[in-house]
A and B are shown apart, each in its own frame.
Chain A
Amino acid sequence: MFYRRSALLLLVLILVFLLIFPGVIIAENASPQYTPSYTLVIKAPEQIEAGQTLTLVAEVRENLYGDLVANARVIFFVESDFFITDLVEIGDAITDEHGLAKLDFIPNQPGVLQIVASYKAGSNFEPVEAEGMVNITGSSKSLYQTEIGIKYPNSFLIWLISIVAILFAIWSTFLFVLYQVRNISFRGTGAKGASFVLMVGVAVLFTVVVLVLVTPEAQYNFGYLP
């Protein structure tokens, strides 16, 4: 019986080795793969009158040989004021055989307009961005200008602090209540694990929620802090 089991074990080990070994050899001998990188250039007139069509052009090139890239999807953004000032997507375009993606946009408000083009070659690539400025002259062509929210200094910071403070108060109360469960278990002779598990679980969950909201990982929130 012992020999039979040993033989079986050996057979399994050999099979595992045979399965893994060729992969290791191939991986070791494989030539390093080339990861392409890209450059994006945005072209737009320096000045245009409000209400006229602004043609935004973005050119995509592959960096190694400088080849123009066709059929690449480029997304265009402009800076806009909507409760907070941020980039708002205005549309996308596919590059032609000359590597050019074109998008028409009509700015209605005078002022300096920030435009951004973004290209992402695939899910494993970081997006490449290019930005430019266009001076919009003349008078406003909008029927009315929307404005949302009341502007006051450090509004986002106050908002963030308020939310985190309320959450902290509520979740601290949860922990205090679970501390009562801990008191129950420490005043009895039975299991003491439940209260500990619950308290740790709630504390960890709360920490994750707060961290996600306020750390640099939450870049869109953190980016507005003064």
Chain B
Amino acid sequence: MNTDSNENYNKRLESSVFDPLNHTSKGYYGFLLVLLAIIAWGGFAYITQLRYGLIVTGLNEVTLWGVYIVNFIFFIGISYAGTLVSAVLRLTGAGWRTPITRMAEVIAVVGVMIGGLMPVIDLGRPDRISNLLVFGRLESPLVWDIIAITTYLIACLIYLYLPLIPDLAIMRDNLEGRFSPGRRKFYTFLAAGWENTPEQKRSLEKGMRIMSIIIIPIAIFVHTVVAYIFAMTLRPGWNSTIYGPYFVFGAVFSGIAAILIVMAIFRKIFHLEEFITERHFRNLSYLLMTLLFFYAYFTFSEYLTIGYKVEVAEKELLTQLMIGKSAGWFWSFIIGGLLVPAFLIVFRKLRVIPRVVAASVFVIVGMWIKRFVIVLGTLQVPLMPFEFGVYKPTWVEISVSLAALAGFTLLFALFPKIFPIISVWEVSEEEHHEQPTPVDIPAKNIPRIFGRFKRGVKKNVL
């Protein structure tokens, strides 16, 4: 690629990424207002809950966890995939990752922030949250969870910040006049004196490499601990040895789907078609498909081993799930969360992006339902001689959940207005590097399930 085209590419890239920072449409403000209205309604619902207690929710002495805890697992799961995808692709040096890592990192931070709020909202007395640390037992998975999530949030923030530094310096140096003095000071402060010297580059690369390595076990640990909240109890369904990895794979599965949806939205809104191409969607869809297989395998293994042994309480659970009152939820997950997305990814009649994004939407909805089945399915089958539990979320829980989703979307909507949504310096560097040698990949050597390549077409080796 010659110098002129490189410069043009960089200009187009900077224009696409930096223009949204100070050009805002009326539609954007309208969208923000809608989100704020939903959040305000959720706030009202939460105040109602604080005022009258958990009696205004569908929670009761048998089903003591509801959609708040479902949302907690869901958002933490999405967050987990953000870091994992970014860190793994960074460590393996996958060049195609550069336009999408920033989005993945933002998903990680926003997901853990919203997810971390959910257990607090679930408490009838949130003012007592500090008691978990002061009077908490180190033997309790709930205390492990608080420690793990705090550590993970800090890790995600550092991991998001480090690759932002050179971009902040670009904004500080090249975009003078486009920002107010206060905003420019803000960028100058965060740019930490970056001048792109070799020593600075070495320090930054060192920091990013360390964080890429350390954040993977931290993320795995966090979601394993979330699984332990359930698996450390003797409840039917939860009493499982594979819940740790089951939750981890479920998290990555739903998280990759979330990344695909976010990519598609930002690509469309900010006209990033040149930088986020079909290739990114195709590559991530392979990952999505692989994880779908893993998750289907775990699900099959989990329910088969329960069903084969059929202890009394677990028999009740399986009956509820397969043909009882939870059957609608369970089969919605199996069909909508596994079979339909698999069909959409494997059978490639439609165009790549709509097909993969549709599959991702099915996965996201299906995985939320799966978390609902995990939490509520078990709770509705009590071990004690109670009556079977009935749980129906009230308007308060639904409003707060919608507000959480609106909060998640709001933070995403605000981020590209403050920071570049694509790592400009990384994309630019990647573009300047020598392109990988094109090689012929014979179509017969590529598994048909992962794509239908034309014979003899030159493809870059990743």
Q: Which residues of A contact B (CB under 8 A)?
A: 83-84, 149, 156, 159-160, 163, 167, 170-171, 173-174, 176-178, 180-181, 183-195, 198, 202, 205, 209, 212-213, 217-221
Interface set, chain B 114-149, CB cutoff 8 A to A: 133-139, 147
Would B158 and A191 count as touching, CB distance under 8 A? no
Q: Which residues of A lie under 8 Å from residue B210 when comparing CB positions?
A: 173, 176-177, 180
Would B155 and A174 count as touching, CB distance under 8 A? yes
Q: Which residues of A lie under 8 Å from residue B169 when comparing CB positions?
A: 190
Interface residue? B207 (CB, 8 A): yes
Q: Which residues of A lie under 8 Å from residue B138 when comparing CB positions?
A: 156, 159-160, 163, 213, 221
Q: Which residues of B lie under 8 Å from residue A217 when comparing CB positions?
A: 134
Quote the shortest CB–CB distance from A184 to chain B (angstroms): 5
Q: Which residues of A lie under 8 Å from residue B277 when comparing CB positions?
A: none
Q: Which residues of B contact A (CB under 8 A)?
A: 133-139, 147, 150-151, 154-155, 158, 161-162, 165, 169, 172, 188-195, 197, 199-200, 203-204, 206-207, 210-211, 214, 218
Q: Which residues of B lie under 8 Å from residue A219 when comparing CB positions?
A: 134-135
A173–B133 alpha-carbon span in the complex (Å): 23
Please give me the residue from chain A that is nearest to B214 by CB atom.
A173
Quote the shortest CB–CB distance from B36 to chain A (angstroms): 29
Would B194 and A177 count as touching, CB distance under 8 A? no
Would B203 and A209 count as touching, CB distance under 8 A? no
Contact of A190 among B134, B139, B192, B199 (CB under 8 A): B192
Quote the shortest CB–CB distance from B83 to chain A (angstroms): 14
Contact of A83 among B139, B193, B207 (CB under 8 A): B139
List 10 A-B pairs, minimum CB-CB distance, nearest first. A188-B193, A190-B193, A180-B207, A185-B192, A183-B203, A185-B193, A180-B203, A194-B192, A177-B207, A212-B133
List 26 A-B pairs, Cβ < 8 Å: A84-B137, A160-B138, A167-B147, A171-B151, A177-B158, A177-B162, A177-B207, A177-B210, A177-B211, A181-B165, A181-B203, A190-B169, A190-B193, A190-B195, A191-B193, A193-B189, A194-B189, A198-B161, A205-B154, A209-B150, A212-B133, A213-B138, A217-B134, A218-B134, A218-B135, A221-B138
Binding site of B, secondary structure by majority: helix, strand, loop or mixed? helix
Q: Which residues of B lie under 8 Å from residue A156 when comparing CB positions?
A: 138
Would B211 and A181 count as touching, CB distance under 8 A? no
Q: Which residues of B lie under 8 Å from residue A194 when comparing CB positions?
A: 189-192
Would A170 and B165 count as touching, CB distance under 8 A? no
Would B192 and A180 count as touching, CB distance under 8 A? no
Contact of A212 among B134, B151, B154 (CB under 8 A): B134
Contact of B193 among A84, A189, A213 (CB under 8 A): A189
A186–B211 alpha-carbon span in the complex (Å): 21
Quote the shortest CB–CB distance from B392 to chain A (angstroms): 30
A170–B206 alpha-carbon span in the complex (Å): 16
Q: Which residues of A lie under 8 Å from residue B165 when comparing CB positions?
A: 181, 184
Contact of A187 among B151, B154, B197 (CB under 8 A): B197
Q: Which residues of A lie under 8 Å from residue B155 when comparing CB positions?
A: 170, 174
Contact of A188 among B139, B150, B154, B197 (CB under 8 A): B197
Quote the shortest CB–CB distance from A88 to chain B (angstroms): 13
Quote the shortest CB–CB distance from B114 to chain A (angstroms): 20
Would A180 and B189 count as touching, CB distance under 8 A? no
Q: Which of A177, A217, A220 has the most CB of B within 10 A?
A: A177
Please give me the residue from chain B that is nearest to A178 by CB atom.
B158
Given contacts A184-B194, A221-B137, contact A190 B207 (CB under 8 A): no
A180–B191 alpha-carbon span in the complex (Å): 13
Q: Which residues of A lie under 8 Å from residue B199 when comparing CB positions?
A: 183, 187
A217–B155 alpha-carbon span in the complex (Å): 27
A205–B195 alpha-carbon span in the complex (Å): 30
Q: Which residues of A lie under 8 Å from residue B162 when comparing CB positions?
A: 177, 181
Please give me the residue from chain B that is nearest to A171 by CB atom.
B151
Q: Which residues of B lie under 8 Å from residue A170 when comparing CB positions?
A: 151, 155, 214, 218
Please give me the residue from chain B that is nearest to A192 by CB atom.
B193
Q: Which residues of A lie under 8 Å from residue B203 when comparing CB positions?
A: 180-181, 183-184, 187
A189–B207 alpha-carbon span in the complex (Å): 20
Contact of B195 among A174, A188, A195, A220 (CB under 8 A): A188
Quote the shortest CB–CB distance from A186 to chain B (angstroms): 8
Contact of A209 among B147, B192, B195, B218 (CB under 8 A): B147
8 further A-B contacts with Cβ under 8 Å, apart from A178-B158, A213-B147, are A177-B207, A181-B192, A188-B195, A190-B188, A194-B189, A209-B147, A212-B134, A218-B133
Would A195 and B192 count as touching, CB distance under 8 A? yes
Quote the shortest CB–CB distance from A152 to chain B (angstroms): 14
Quote the shortest CB–CB distance from B183 to chain A (angstroms): 14
Please give me the residue from chain B that is nearest to A176 by CB atom.
B210
Q: Which residues of A lie under 8 Å from residue B211 when comparing CB positions?
A: 177
A217–B130 alpha-carbon span in the complex (Å): 12
Quote the shortest CB–CB distance from A48 to chain B (angstroms): 26
Given contacts A183-B199, A205-B154, A219-B135, contact A191 B191 (CB under 8 A): yes
Q: Which residues of B lie under 8 Å from residue A193 when comparing CB positions?
A: 189
A186–B197 alpha-carbon span in the complex (Å): 12
Would B139 and A191 count as touching, CB distance under 8 A? no
Would A192 and B192 count as touching, CB distance under 8 A? yes
Q: Which residues of B lie under 8 Å from residue A195 when comparing CB positions?
A: 192
Contact of B154 among A83, A84, A160, A174 (CB under 8 A): A174
Q: Which residues of B lie under 8 Å from residue A167 when comparing CB positions?
A: 147, 151
Please give me the residue from chain A that is nearest to B190 by CB atom.
A194
A109–B199 alpha-carbon span in the complex (Å): 70
Q: Which residues of B lie under 8 Å from residue A159 when comparing CB positions?
A: 138-139
Q: Which residues of A lie under 8 Å from residue B189 when comparing CB positions?
A: 191, 193-194
A181–B210 alpha-carbon span in the complex (Å): 13
Would B139 and A184 count as touching, CB distance under 8 A? no
Quote the shortest CB–CB distance from B205 to chain A (angstroms): 9
Q: Which residues of A lie under 8 Å from residue B151 when comparing CB positions?
A: 167, 170-171
A102–B287 alpha-carbon span in the complex (Å): 63
A187–B196 alpha-carbon span in the complex (Å): 10
A198–B189 alpha-carbon span in the complex (Å): 11
Q: Which residues of A lie under 8 Å from residue B161 when comparing CB positions?
A: 181, 198
A159–B147 alpha-carbon span in the complex (Å): 14
Would B193 and A220 count as touching, CB distance under 8 A? no
A213–B137 alpha-carbon span in the complex (Å): 9
A174–B156 alpha-carbon span in the complex (Å): 11
